[in-house]
Amino acid sequence: MSDKIMEEDKALTAIPAYRPTGRFRKAGTLLVLRNSSSGLQVLMEKRSQTMRFLPGYLAFPGGTEDEQDKIIAEQYAIGSPSGYEGGRLWAITAVRETFEEIGLLTALSMKGSTGRIDSCPEQYASVEKNSYSLLEWLRFNEYQLNLTQLRCVGRWIGPHGQPAQFDTWFFAIHHQVDEESFSYNEEVAEVGWQTVEPLVKEIHPGLVKVVPPTRVMLENLSQFETAESAMSQLTAHDPTLSMLDWLEDMK
């Protein structure tokens, strides 16, 4: 970004979204973190240029809630994310969207157990693109989501300066296996691990495109050296939440 565009972007961050005039959807987004020799890394996707919404933008995996999320919450999930116990449904949304968009299974434990499973390669091999929904996969393989592995790190209402369309909750998870191969859908052009500090430096001169919530989340994430410290302290809420006097009416 040029200095002028960066100033405009930061100014927009301070302008609240207006009361919705159309559909207002709940959404979940997942920051998948890992430690590396080059520093703290986060898994990012580059949106396809064919997408109508934010083509070519760098983003965290995520999307809007789905009916299967409620079934997963009732039958195939245990615990709650730290930072917001009421966020179970949107945490599941974030995990499911990550599975659908890039083929990454995370926050897993065996059905009936609280033990953490960071990778199950024999199961990944059976997951072909668009073959299973997350609900079907959990049911078939007798796994469940252990939501205690996630931390709620932010809530954003957007887009800023326009009628609100999304109530997005951001979650983080420390993924302790070095996944390098991802099977992503048509919405995604590229997927890869990004070292946070140099990525933030690329955002400011405009070498990569991100929306304000992603920029703010990455700027806050760059203050941490390890996934462990980020998982215990990262918080980056929408600065305009206190201005949204209409938000309580949307429950």
Amino acid at 203: I
The pLDDT score that the predictor gives to residue 172 is 98
Q: Quote the DSSP letter at residue 52.
A: S
The three-state secondary structure class of 47 is strand
Its CATH architecture, for the domain 3-244, is Alpha-Beta Complex (3.90)
**Cα 15 to Cα 237: distance, rounded to the nearest angstrom:** 14
Per-residue pLDDT of the chain (251 residues; tens, 9 = 90+): 455 555 666 666 889 999 999 999 999 999 999 999 999 999 999 887 887 777 788 999 999 999 999 999 999 999 999 999 889 999 999 999 999 888 888 898 887 766 676 655 444 444 444 577 899 988 888 889 999 999 999 999 999 999 999 999 999 999 887 766 677 777 788 889 999 999 999 987 777 889 999 999 999 999 999 999 999 999 999 999 999 999 988 87
The pLDDT score that the predictor gives to residue 177 is 74
> Residue 233: which residues within 8 A CB-CB, separation 6 or more?
224
Structural tokens at position 97: 């969207």
Nearest to 107 by CA among 137, 130, 129, 66: 137
β 108-110/188-195 pair status: unpaired
